[in-house]
Amino acid sequence: MSSRTDSCKFRNMNRRELLKLTPVIALGAFAIPGVQKPLLKAGLGFSDWASAKLFRSGHLATTFSDSDLTPFNQFPINDYDVDDPEVDFDRWTLTVTGAVEKPGDYTLAQIRALPKVTQNTRHVCVEGWDVIGRFGGVRLSDLLNIIGADPTARFVHVECADDYYESLDMAAARHPQTLLCYEMYDRPLTREHGAPLRLNVPTKIGYKQAKYLTDLKVSHVLEKVGYWEDQGYSEFYGL
Amino acid sequence: MAAHAIAVKNLKTGEVTEAAYEHPFVVRLCHWVNAVALFVMVGSGFQIFRAFPSFGAKIPQKDLLHWPKAFAIGGWLGGALQWHLTFMWIYIATGLLYIGYQIFSGHYKQVLFRPRDVPGVWPMVRHYFFFGSKPPAREAYNPLQKHAYTSVIVLSVLSVLTGFAIWKPVQFSWLAWLMGGFHWARLWHFVIMWAILAFVFGHLVMVVLHGWNNFVSMFTGWKKDPEYPVG
């Protein structure tokens, strides 16, 4: 026995040891309605910050063979509003604005003139399911080059025919697998899948991959994050 | 092997009892913070699972398990993800602090399950589940306890790794690959949660069975009248 004490001192010692644990009560702040929201926002913000640090611009998402593809008719169609916002293909252009040298309306023909990329990649939904799809289009980075996007700009914003909106950080926008996609499964994009032009970003979660694009804006600050982000989802959500 | 033991003399009766300092402050802190974090991770995890209550690809969609909303945290998928992605850092931090402390303090010797503990496992199982006689207690933790407390640390590490494989299947593609792919990682994450919950259930049963002094020791560190030889 290394030492002796009496029951009174022992009780005091126990009380001191118990009081040392009081910082644990701080976790109770998460139960206070007015404090809970900002705390969770901060937690999600920290996760997004860490996600951005973990993102490696040169690291490619796994690509798959044709036999791994989810059949086209089983590729889910997810919308926040309508399957088909009835885009008028004849008059469609991509309106480019923001920190670019050549703003203006770009036709699908101008976009398709860029080098074509086709890739079989995994599309992961925030709900937890995933499919492997075949996507064809042009690199967003190639478009950013021809529109003369400011190299110091940090975000790309897109708007859609169904009033959906999204944003990408520049590292994701310039990633070699980030496509302005006009084909799925070697066929022109169907209306439900976002014709005439959608995003395909294998390094991001599904809700970032906006469909029925109409506008693209390059900017230095994050102006409108995204529809689902505004409901409470992660701003960065890189895979 | 308890880190520290003292004799306590009762001032009224003059009776002398022993007390062992079983749980250092860092261990107690990690235990309680982690208990809260685990509760939130499981609750929000169930809400996340409700968004796609199945495994594998989307097609064919099979709802494996309709988990009741009453046993879920976050209200909806986005809310649950906020809880999950906030408390995962707390869960990881307490885990790292606990493991780091155990290693650097040498306290792990008390609780780490090692090959020499193997022969003692079966007698304890016989005692707990088949009403066999209780093997004499020689240390603060018996072999079965060591097995449980070591296993749950391994499971916790795996829960984090499988979580990262689901959260970042591109950046940590090697992790997903190690687990047999993205679909398997999600299934492992789920199965490991149940294994941890099985531990928690057994742990709580034992807490009830072992009485007040044992329970209090996780708050104060000190256990009165330890049933094993101290000093």
Q: Which chain A residue is nearest to residue B62, measuring alpha carbons? A: A129
The sign of the torsion formed by the CA atoms of A93, A111, A77, B47 equals negative
Averages of pLDDT over runs of 10 residues in chain A (239 residues) are 78 90 90 92 95 93 94 86 85 95 95 96 92 96 95 96 94 96 95 93 96 96 93 93
Judged by CB atoms closer than 8 Å, whether chains meet at A21 and B28 is answered as: yes
Mutate to test the interface with B, among A27, A205, A225 (most CBs of B within 10 A): A27
- Give chain A's radius of gyration (CA, Å): 24
Judged by CB atoms closer than 8 Å, whether chains meet at B18 and A20 is answered as: no
pLDDT at residue A109, as a whole number: 95
A33 inside 8 A of chain B by CB: no
Residues of B in contact with A202 (CB under 8 A): 170
Shortest Cα distance from A212 to chain B (angstroms)? 23
| 3-class SS shares of chain B: helix, strand, coil, % to 5 | 65, 5, 30
Note the pTM of the prediction, 2 decimals.
Answer: 0.91
Residues of A in contact with B173 (CB under 8 A): 61-62
Q: What is the tens place of the pLDDT at every residue in A200-236?
A: 999 999 999 999 999 999 999 999 999 999 999 999 9
Judged by CB atoms closer than 8 Å, whether chains meet at B18 and A1 is answered as: yes
A78 inside 8 A of chain B by CB: no
Do A183 and A136 touch, CB atoms closer than 8 A?
Answer: yes
Domains, chain B, ranges and CATH?
24-211 (1.20.950.20)
Angle at A178 between CA B56 and CA A163, to 5 degrees: 85
pLDDT at residue B43, as a whole number: 95
B104 inside 8 A of chain A by CB: no
Produce one character per residue of B112-143: b if its CB has 16 or more CB atoms within 10 Å, e if not: ebeeebeebeebbeeebeeeeeeeeeebbbbb
Q: What is the tens place of the pLDDT at every residue in B20-62?
A: 888 899 999 999 999 999 999 999 999 999 888 888 765 555 6
| CATH superfamily ID and name for A59-231 | Oxidoreductase, molybdopterin-binding domain (3.90.420.10)
Interface of B with A in 126-185 (CB under 8 A): 168-171, 173, 182-183
pLDDT at residue A238, as a whole number: 92
Mutate to test the interface with A, among B220, B223, B224, B225 (most CBs of A within 10 A): B220
User: Which portions of chain B are predicted below pLDDT 70?
Assistant: 1-3, 57-64, 230-231
Judged by CB atoms closer than 8 Å, whether chains meet at A128 and B168 is answered as: no
Say how far apart CA A127 and CA A110 lie, in whole Å.
Answer: 35
Q: At what angle do helices B211-220 and B182-209 cross, to 10 degrees?
A: 120
Residues 6+ apart with CB under 8 A from A185: A69, A72, A133, A134
pLDDT at residue B59, as a whole number: 53
| 3-class SS shares of chain A: helix, strand, coil, % to 5 | 35, 25, 40
Residues 6+ apart with CB under 8 A from B106: none
Do B110 and B226 touch, CB atoms closer than 8 A?
Answer: no
Judged by CB atoms closer than 8 Å, whether chains meet at B9 and A4 is answered as: yes
A122 inside 8 A of chain B by CB: yes
Segments making up each domain of chain A, as ranges: 59-231
